[in-house]
Structures are given as C-alpha cells and as structure tokens.
Structure 1
Amino acid sequence: MRAKSAGRAFIGSFTSAGGRGITAAAVDGETGALTETGASDAVVDPSYLALASASGGAVLYAVSETAEGAVAALDIGGASPRLIGSPVPVCGAGPTHLALVPGHLLTANYGSGTVSVLPLGADGLPAGPSGLLQHEGAGPDPDRQRGPHPHQVLPDPTGRWVLSVDLGTDSVRICALDAEAGEPALHGETALRPGTGPRHLVFHPAGSHAYVLNELEPTLTFCRWDAVAGVLEPAGETAVLPDGVPGPVYPSEVVVSHDGRHLWAANRGHDSIAVLALDETREKAELVTTVPCGGQWPRDLALDPTGRRLYAANERSGDVTWFDIDPRTGVPRRAGSLAVPAASCVIFA
C-alpha cells in the first residue's frame, strides 16, 4: 500500500562537514516518516532554510553560512531543489538564520554582528541588501562574547516588529522595518542576564509572551511581549536540564506547542530534548523530563504542520529523527529517523 503523503520537508546541512546541501523528502501522512526524494549541493553550507510563495510558485531560501555570507533561492517543483540564479551576498559574515517579512528577506549574520535586509522581487528572487543593522556591544565570556553575534532574526506575530537575538551581547534588539526603503530602524534593546548567550526565541501562540533559549547557560528566559509598544520584558528563567548534569551543554533551539501548553528545547552535548510544561501565566514552566534526541548534537527542532510530531536535526550523528508527541504530557516518543549527514535544520512545505 502506498503511503499517504502529508507534504514535503527540506533539510539543510553543512557541505563543509560532508553534508549533501539541501535534502528534499516526502512526509508520510500517517506515520510522519521521511523518505528522501533528492538533494542539491548548489549552495555551500545551507545551514538554515525558509520557504515562501511567489508569483511563480513556492521558493525555498537558504543562507550560505560562510565567511563571505550569501543567500540563495531555489525552485522546489522537482524531486530535488534547483538553484535559481546565483547566490546573493548579504554584506555580512557567517549568516546563521533567515526570516521572511512582506517583500523582504532578513538574515542574522553571526560573524559580522549585523542583520541584513534584502528586497524580494515579484518572482521571489532576492536582490542585494537595501539595509544593514550593525549590532554593538560585548559580553563577559572572553571566548564567545568579544563582540556582537546575532544568531536569529524573526518578525513578531503582528508583523510590525523585527527581533534579533544576539548571543554576543546578551540582548534582543527590536526594530521597525521601513518596507518602502528596506531600512531597519532600531526601536529598543532588551538586556538579558550577562553571560547567558541568548541564541533563539519563540513566541507563544497567543502573542503575549516570548521564550529565549540561552546557549552559554542551559536556561530559558521567559519574557512578556507588548506588541503595541514593541517592548520585550524579561519575567524569569528556568533550567532546561535537571540538576547535576555535567557540562558543557549548549542548547540550540526552542519550539512551543500549537496549543501553548508545552515547550521543547534541544540540548547539544547532553544530546537530549527537554520537555517543559507552561503554567497558566505563561511565565513559569516545569521541567517534565528530558528524552534522548535520537542522535548526537541536535542543532534544530521543528514541529510538523499538524503539531503532532517533533523532528530533530542531529548534526554530528548525521540524521533527522522524528517523534510522536503525547498530547497530554508533551513527551516525545521516538518513531524513526532518516540519514542526513551534517544535518542542521528542518522545515516543512
């Protein structure tokens, strides 16, 4: 019997570490299993991906996490992604994340401490940057925080604001984007506890709170989000590992359930997924348990569109593992895996 398809997944990987670039996979609608359909190595180190619709159909975007820094657009109409045109420089070094806002593509450039804004044409193709935001500052860690290192950029749920999470300065910047000029304007900056090294942020489905996962300490920072004023306010912290776990551990990604009751955080080094249950205030959480990530060095987590399954991109073991989620407890149960060398992220079409 042929498996019922629930769509497609795209997996980024580090070509410099033996990855195949961008792998396309069919998703089984009943089991969530991934079956590879093809791959493209046309982009060097496509460590993070984003997907959008354009006049000619869906377009896949990838960063090229290199010293020069670039983004690329790919057609996904076939079994394998196909590069459209040439990669476009972002005028920043080491882009680690990208996000879409109407008419523009944004990149967080870890190496140069900048955020780039690239206009998108009607065909979905990016042009060179129309604006650049330079982060400033440093943190107490002499090895990782000598200067700014934005690791993630994303719009808030209203689309009015753009937030960039900076590991090097222990802060989150809030910008307004002039859509016509393609220029970011700094609106405010939220300081987090020094030395925590914030890496990624996720918004609660209600839009009233955000959760910042810290890389240099295995903690999660709870924040209130005022979308009218564009203000992010820290409200507390919690550990994403039980007491006594030996380090070092470097958390990487946090996701929240569709119903807003659970959070999951990936812990590199401990090679686990932390399960946290949010309380009614959305500002406190209980660490329910941790479960093995199914491999080594989980760099990314992603929910499938149904919210019933969780996928972990395990970079060092070279696989993507998927889990069925208990809807009551939020605890993931391993269901299968696909070999993907140097896997770095997973997104769904």
Structure 2
Amino acid sequence: MHILIGGYTKHESAGIYQFDFIGADAEAHLEQRRNVVKVGGPTYFQKDGEFIFTIKNEDGQGGIASFRNGKLVSQLLHEGSSPAYVGINKEKKLLYTANYHTGILAVISYDEQGQLTLLDKVQHENRALGPRPEQAGAHPHYFDETPGGHLVSCDLGQDRVDFYGFDGQKLTHLASYQNEDGFGTRHLVFAPGGDYFYVAGELSSQVNVVKFDEENWMFQNVATYSTIPESWDQHNGAAAIRLSKDGKFLYVSNRGHDSIAVFAVQPDQQLKLVQRVSTFGEFPRDFNWDPSEKFVVAANQNTNNATLYERQEDGSLTPLEKDIAVPEGTRVLFTD
C-alpha cells in the first residue's frame, strides 16, 4: 500500500510525493518518500489505475492534467487560477472540477489513454453572497456525485449547496440548500443510505446535519455543531470532512486549531463529540484513510509534515508517527 500527498508548490515542493506504508497495527509507519509527479500546484487529485488526474498551474494558467507513470498525458488549461477540487467516477470515466476563484464547475471525460475532454461547465454568479470578507464572490469548493447519481456543489461565497443533473452532455440546475449566512459552505459527505448529508462550514467552523430526500428535493435542517472548542478565539477554518463507511463516525479537520474533530453519529443523526486530536503541525487541509479505514494520514500544509494515526473502535484517532516530512501538503490519497 502507498500514500500520495500533493499540494502547493510555492516553496520547496516539486509536486506529488509517494510513501510506502510499512508495518501493521501500532508498528505502522511511512517510508521512502519520492517525488512521483513533477507538476505545479497539485492541491487536489484523483487516481484511476495508472493515471493520476491532478490540478495543475503553470505560467499563469490553471486547469487539470492527467499523468501516467509520472509523464504528462493530457491537460486542459485556461488563463487564471486552477480549480480547488477534483471528483471522479471511474466507471463513467468522468471528472468533476470546482474552481474557487473563477466560480466555474466543469464536467470532464477521460478515455483509456487518459486524454481529457471538456463536456460542459456552468458559472456560479456573484449574487446572494454571504456577509464575510471571504465571500466577496461565488467560490465553489466542491463538485462531486450524490448517492442518486446527480451532481452536487458547495459554494463558500454563497453559503449554498447546489444540485445538478448531467445527461452526458449538459448540466442542469435542479435544487439548492441554503446554509446560514457566513457558514462558508466548503465540502460535504452523504450518509450511507443517502437520506442525510453533513456539510462542513469553513468560515463558521461548523458541521450542519441535513435530512435529504433526493427524489423530491426536500431538505430539513437537523442540527449544527462546532468543530472547535467554545474557548477558541483565534482564526480557524474547517476544511476536509469524511464519514466512515458504516456511517457511525464523522471527521473534520480544523486549520488554525490544527486538529481533527471526531464525532459519533447517533441513531437520530445527532452528533456527539468523541475527540479533538492534534495534527501535530499547522494548517491541516486534508486527511484520508486506507480502504479498511484503520489508518488515517493528515497533511499539515504550513509545517511541511504529515501525521499517521490508527483509528480505534470508538472512532478516536491514536497518533503513530508525527513528523513525516512532506512539503506543502494539501491532499492525501491511499493507493494500492
């Protein structure tokens, strides 16, 4: 098993790095860091077989690129900033990108050779914006699939979750769910049955639990929970959110408090705080787990290190290795 970590390339990073996952249980650790893809700004990426599909920036252009065995295969670049997120459907060979700076959502196909083709895109307009300084424009930060096969975006600037249909050629807006003003809607995850979703609010450092009827596009605001202690009075931004496959534990990273908040999901979908565990570094944007969800790796962007944890039966995280050197990490992905 391997772990891929990529991120910004503003300082010493050369792109995407791969680690070997060695050992078992409490003896697990990461070894042999090596730069496997040289690319500018791979802040988010996905993998399908031999192909890595990554965000890329180069010479004032941004977009998405495919790499095979470390070599560039195809790219779709445009003037300006690169996207912030890449989703994937490996069966349909589709990629979904959200561009925080331009407000554009895009659907891109790829073929057996990794060639990329833009299928459609939509522009989020700069209207119905939130009250915070960070919400001066539309800022979609997430674009991916729903349990029912539709598409969903999170817009930090508009405090909104938007749902789309895609017929293979064209995107069509279907419905919206509105978070509270200043929530800073960033990422979401769906409960295993698809009848609830959990939204991470970057600007409010909160998680909103929402009951969801995808057939009739009905929403019910269930409850909202803080990802940071009440006593915390410094800057914080909630970032990545993940839900265990059994739907019993929810995890959110805190950039500022520099922690991962762990919640147990109760039968009525209320959340109970289990733990806030340090990431032993600064500004943890992303974290991820292996297929068994036994091990978790969090990347600290500002301190150029990652932390490895073992996940316990009660959902809590036990640190195993704290100072794994990796520059400017913002994306973590376990691979074969």
Which stretch of structure 1 is more off in the superposition, 195-204 or 233-242?
233-242
- Quote the offset at 1:140 in angstroms: 3.1
Deviations 1:236-293 (A, max 9, x none): 21111221111211111111122221111111111111111111022x1112231111
- Quote the offset at 1:226 in angstroms: 2.2
SS at match of 2:10: helix
- Structure 1 residue 141 and structure 2 residue 131: aligned? yes
Question: Partners of 2:17 and 2:330 in 1: how far apart?
Answer: 11
Question: Partners of 1:248 and 1:22 in 2: how far apart?
Answer: 28
- Quote the offset at 1:161 in angstroms: 0.7
Q: Is the 8 A contact 2:9 2:328 kept in 1?
A: yes
Partner of 1:261: 248
Partner of 1:152: 142
Q: Is the 8 A contact 1:105 1:126 kept in 2?
A: no
Question: Partners of 1:207 and 1:36 in 2: how far apart?
Answer: 39
- Quote the offset at 1:232 in angstroms: 4.7
Deviations 1:203-240 (A, max 9, x none): 12232211111111111010122233355543221111
SS at match of 2:135: coil
- Quote the offset at 1:197 in angstroms: 0.3
- Structure 1 residue 36 and structure 2 residue 21: aligned? no
Deviations 1:21-50 (A, max 9, x none): 100122225144222352145321000011
Q: Is the 8 A contact 1:43 1:72 kept in 2?
A: no
What is the identity, as a one-letter code, of the residue corresponding to 1:134? Answer: Q
Q: Is the 8 A contact 2:37 2:67 kept in 1?
A: no
Partner of 1:4: none
Structure 2 gap ranges (5+): none
The match for 1:207 among 194, 219, 229 is 194
RMSD of aligned alpha carbons: 1.9
Task: Flag the 1:278–1:90 CA change in 2: closer, same or farther, 3 A.
Answer: farther
- Structure 1 residue 62 and structure 2 residue 54: aligned? yes
The match for 1:185 among 172, 192, 217 is 172
Partner of 1:45: 41
Question: Partners of 2:308 and 2:33 in 1: how far apart?
Answer: 17
Question: Partners of 2:330 and 2:32 in 1: how far apart?
Answer: 16
Partner of 1:172: 161
The match for 2:293 among 285, 288, 307 is 307
Task: Flag the 1:36–1:90 CA change in 2: closer, same or farther, 3 A.
Answer: farther
Question: Partners of 1:130 and 1:199 in 2: how far apart?
Answer: 24
Question: Partners of 1:169 and 1:17 in 2: how far apart?
Answer: 32
What is the identity, as a one-letter code, of the residue corresponding to 1:309? Answer: F
- Quote the offset at 1:62 in angstroms: 0.6
Partner of 1:3: none
The match for 1:344 among 293, 307, 330 is 330
Q: Is the 8 A contact 2:130 2:159 kept in 1?
A: no
Q: Is the 8 A contact 1:24 1:38 kept in 2?
A: yes
